[in-house]
Amino acid sequence: MVNLKRYITFVGIVFHFCMLTAQEYNCQETDTTKEIPLAFCLEFPDQLCPVKTQPTGGCWASASNTVVESYWLRMGFNAEHVSDKNLQLFHGFVRERNVNGNYMMATAYYTRGSGPVRKNEFNDTTEIINPELSYLNTGARYLPGDPYLIKRVIHDCSPVYTMLYFRKSNVDTVTQIHYTEKSGINHALALIGWNDTLTTKSGRGVWIAQNTLGELFGDNGRVYIPYQDKNILEHNAIWPEWETFNPRLQILYYDTLGPILTYGFNDSICWGMVNFTASDKGSVNRVGVFVKHPGTRIYAEVYKKFEPVEKVLSGLEGKSDAIRCIYPGYYTINLDKPVSFQKGEDFFVVVRYQTPDQGFPMPIEQYQKDYADPDITQNRAWINPDFEKWPNLWYEVGENSNLAYLKFDLCIRAYFILDK
């Protein structure tokens, strides 16, 4: 019998003004062997949104929305100015994180459909349940600190959210180059270009960043970060998958915050299952899955019945292709066909996670002191060390578990389209 105890692990979180890493970015195809220019910069107004002035302590929110707004422009979406303050206040994590946020908090807010909402006085201060959005995010990618990859993403796709140690007093007022020897993280901004030819006192080459301190600071809101900066490129994110908002779409989930930890059976494979109930007549066509480890393979199935006593699944109605996630992040995977349900009908979404070399493949939402205090559901989720080997070996997880280490939600979502 599989021993459940011990096999839960903390996934590193940066407890500063921002946060962490993840998966294949999904813009147009990019030739990763293609040469890139020695210098490049995205430009306003066709490729870049206006410089933002962050709310106090809200650099992480403004940097995230800078990336999003600029990506929309780049991809030909309508120009939108969204509320940084709404993201800063209504991310869903503990209130102390308002001024100490990160890009995973932004991903949680985007992917559950809480925003981004348009910027106006009402939206800046009001939490809106089921807002009418312009666009819905369906994918996040957390990128490794490979300078060539970051340049290709900026050149072909999107500005890149990143973090560093930053102080205004460390900016050279003539060159607008930021110098520091300190290690640590306290600020977020968006990388919008680079210059390999510029020589600084740290060496050759700089990143060009759009800051969040308004147009009057730096070079019309920009600042230049030497390639030799100790902290640059440690934590990078983009949100490259958006679709026009559909008011008939319901995102079904129990994890409001996304992954806080990971769980596993000290093996590279783990399965999770979540029970949802159709709110009305409609169909499921996609499954949303978070990934924490590079190279994870994910696969989803949808069943109509589960016998909780004998732990037997039956009525397989839909499945996805298995996909390999190059980077961590958030993915939506299509089913081979839509699966229809009547109002009040239960269904069960099953996801397989398989990592190259990690024993804790499954992202979970759980309490984390000073960071996350989610409401954990009960009687809705199960885990299995290997469903193909042990089809009846399902362990229930959730708030009513007698085992403290199983009091968590699974980070699995269903995209449910209501019939007209």
Going by C-alpha positions, the residue among 84, 43, 51 that lies closest to residue 213 is 51
Going by C-alpha positions, the residue among 354, 332, 330 that lies closest to residue 287 is 332
Cβ atoms of 210 and 218 closer than 8 Å: no
63-75 residue pLDDT tens: 999 999 999 999 9
Please state the rounded mean pLDDT for residues 13-39.
50
Which of 330 and 18 is assigned the larger pLDDT? 330
Backbone angles phi, psi at 250, to 5 degrees: -115, 130
Token digits for 185?
């993280």
Report how far residue 18's alpha carbon sits from residue 415's, in angstroms, rounded to the nearest whole number. Answer: 29
Instruction: Give yes or no for residue 77 having a pLDDT over 90.
Output: yes
Can you list the domains of the chain with their CATH numbers?
Answer: 8-239 (3.90.70.10), 247-418 (2.60.120.820)
Please state the rounded mean pLDDT for residues 12-31.
36
Return mean pLDDT, the chain.
Answer: 92
With 0.85 as the threshold, say if the pTM is over it. yes
161-196 residue pLDDT tens: 999 999 999 999 999 999 999 999 999 999 999 999
Which of 229 and 30 is assigned the larger pLDDT? 229
Cβ atoms of 230 and 331 closer than 8 Å: no
> pLDDT confidence of 321, banded at 50, 70, 90?
very high
Is beta strand 409-410 parallel, antiparallel or unpaired with respect to 222-226?
unpaired
Cβ atoms of 141 and 327 closer than 8 Å: yes
393-417 residue pLDDT tens: 999 999 999 899 999 999 999 999 9
Query: How would DSSP label each residue in 338-363?
Result: EEEE-TT-EEEEEEEEE-SS-S--EE
Instruction: Give yes or no for residue 13 having a pLDDT over 70.
Output: no
Report how far residue 27's alpha carbon sits from residue 30's, in angstroms, rounded to the nearest whole number. Answer: 8
Instruction: Please report the pLDDT score of residue 27 as a whole number.
Output: 54
